[in-house]
Structure 1
Amino acid sequence: MHQQQQPSVLLSKFFNELSLACQRNEVECLPVLDLACGFGRNGLYLLKQNLPVVFADINPDALAQVEQQVKALKKQGQASASYWHQDFELPGSAPLKAKRFSAVLVFRYLHRPLMAQIKEAITPGGVIVYETFTRAQAQFGRPKNPDFLLEPGELADCFANWHVRHYFEGIVQSGGSKQAVARIVAVKPDE
């Protein structure tokens, strides 16, 4: 089984915003989408805090391991979880069309054609938590392909009309190495 890493500190720091976004829908608590979740470290953290999560990834083995961890949590009475095996990069596809989430988490993943869909899938008052590599990452290691690296200010520009709760762009220490990242936590304005 995959060794579980610590969740992003952004999730604990902005948990109240995520929880409030989930509670805004009076009928039911819309789930949080953990997009390109990998082994689920961030979604599992929210699930342990009793928020419903949809774990989405292209890797069925990673999703199976997440499901095993969720089964162990369910014995403790945790919130609901579902699993979505999806290739978000299929040309011409719109996998998020007509889907609604209280929040979307995206860590270490960038596929620019999805950005508009991500923004649309979040309900008004919902939250985006996004962190990925910037162009400066190429000097420290992988990824180096510019298709997977944000331009300076690109993430801030993408969510410029949202209520930004946190923004950072720069160099961080992670696991003993430097990484160039951009991070944003923002709330979608009411329509």
Structure 2
Amino acid sequence: MLKTYPEHYFSEKYQLTPPHSEVIAALPKLRVGKALDIGCGRGRNTLLLNSKGFNVTAWDNNPDSLAQLRAVIAEEQLQGITVEEQDLNAIRFNGAYDFVFSTVVMMFLQPAAVPQLIADMQASTVKYGYNLIVAAMDTADYPSADLFPFAFKSGELSDYYRNWHIEKYNEHVGELHRVDEHGNRLKLRFATLLAQKASY
């Protein structure tokens, strides 16, 4: 019997950032199965998906964040979560996942790593499975060149998925946790994509 948790149980009990709103929004479309969380941090999204019945593989390159996630898994006696330290700039992978996602992670990677990472995400997704990506952009109205190693240009992320069924794509303005010299949170455009692997 799957134990059910309130949506913000883990974030409130363990002082985690709440699950990403786009992961929550995607849940009704997803077939419960295997998920891959690329850049899981302390596990806010991994824990949510696991509580909904997913077997989740969680990757990050920060051993401290992963140690905190492992501590939650141990305390709650959770099953179905595999935690691995991975260098996302260098990893190559395949698999058969129903949901592969990366939220606010790709902008911290080296630009040369991103095309291969997306290609492996796509190849590792089963037919009719989903990919979700949320990442910062660099645009004329909201430049981000000095903030991150990588940022998507307008239309770049959606072009990677031109052969998939794109359920959602936007380039809306969002706020970073970083602040400017006046204490105001920095604003950037974020590319947000939810796409389903086509049958062909």
Please give the range of the TM-score, normalised by the shorter of the 2 chains.
0.7 to 0.9
Q: How high is the TM-score relative to the length of structure 2?
A: 0.76
Secondary structure, in 3 states, of the residue corresponding to 2:134? strand
Decide whether aligned partners of structure 1 residues 70 and 138 sit closer, same or farther in structure 2, where only a CA change above 3 A counts.
farther
Verify: 1:180 aligned to 2:189, yes or no: yes
Structure 2, unmatched stretches of 5+, are 1-13, 107-112, 178-183
Q: Which residue of 2 aligns with 1:190?
A: 199
How many residues are matched?
A: 174
Secondary structure, in 3 states, of the residue corresponding to 2:127? strand
Asked whether the 8 Å contact 1:133–1:179 carries over to 2, the reply is yes
Moved over 3 A (4+): 136-143, 173-176
Q: Which residue of 1 aligns with 2:85?
A: 85
Q: Which moved more, 1:168-177 or 1:154-163?
A: 168-177
Q: Residue 16 of structure 1: CA displacement?
A: 1.9
Verify: 1:73 aligned to 2:76, yes or no: yes
Q: Which structure 2 residues correspond to residues 53-68 of structure 1 after superposition, within 5 A? A: 53-68=56-71
Structure 1, unmatched stretches of 5+, are 23-28
CA distance in 1, matches of 2:85, 2:73: 16
Q: Residue 79 of structure 1: CA displacement?
A: 4.9
CA distance in 2, matches of 1:137, 1:60: 36
Verify: 1:135 aligned to 2:138, yes or no: yes
* 2:163 partner letter: N
Verify: 1:51 aligned to 2:60, yes or no: no
Asked whether the 8 Å contact 2:39–2:103 carries over to 1, the reply is yes
Verify: 1:103 aligned to 2:99, yes or no: yes
CA distance in 2, matches of 1:138, 1:148: 17
* 1:59 partner letter: N
Q: How high is the TM-score relative to the length of structure 1?
A: 0.80
Secondary structure, in 3 states, of the residue corresponding to 1:136? coil
**C-alpha RMSD of the superposition:** 2.6
Secondary structure, in 3 states, of the residue corresponding to 1:183? strand
